[in-house]
Structure 1
């Protein structure tokens, strides 16, 4: 696959990740957090705030692999 096409597809996937991931996290938060303590809320948002980095890193690694 050409590097330009791989970069284009990766950019689309990253955009979708940034748009869809927060909606999923908000849906989970509404179901899980209403009865939770402040510590559980804090831990949820810390984990949820950092968890998107793993799939984004995989997409970026896939995009860059073609350029080497």
Structure 2
């Protein structure tokens, strides 16, 4: 698959990931995290805000992979 097509697909997937992750994190935080103490809330919000970087990084690495030589 050419890099140009991978970048198009990856961009769409990144946008979907961010929207899905934000909605999921908000739903989780609204239901469970509000019952915790302030310190655990801070940890949960930090983790929920940072963990989307892992799948995004893997997706970006896939997008930036060079084309195969034929």
Q: Same fold (TM over 0.5)?
A: yes
- What's the CA shift for 1:18? 1.2
Q: Which has the larger radius of gyration?
A: 2
Residues 19-41 of structure 1: CA deviation (Å, up to 9, x unaligned) = 11010001110121222100111
Secondary structure, counterpart of 1:66 in structure 2: coil
Deviation beyond 4 Å, 4+ runs, structure 1: none
Higher relative contact order (CA 8 A, sep 6+): 1
2:61 equivalent to 1:61: yes
Calculate the TM-score normalised by the size of structure 2: 0.89
1:4 maps to: 4
Residues 5-63 of structure 1: CA deviation (Å, up to 9, x unaligned) = 10000000011111110100011101212221001110001111110100000000000
The count of corresponding residues between Structure 1 and Structure 2 is 68
Gaps in structure 2 of 5+ consecutive residues: none
Calculate the TM-score normalised by the size of structure 1: 0.91
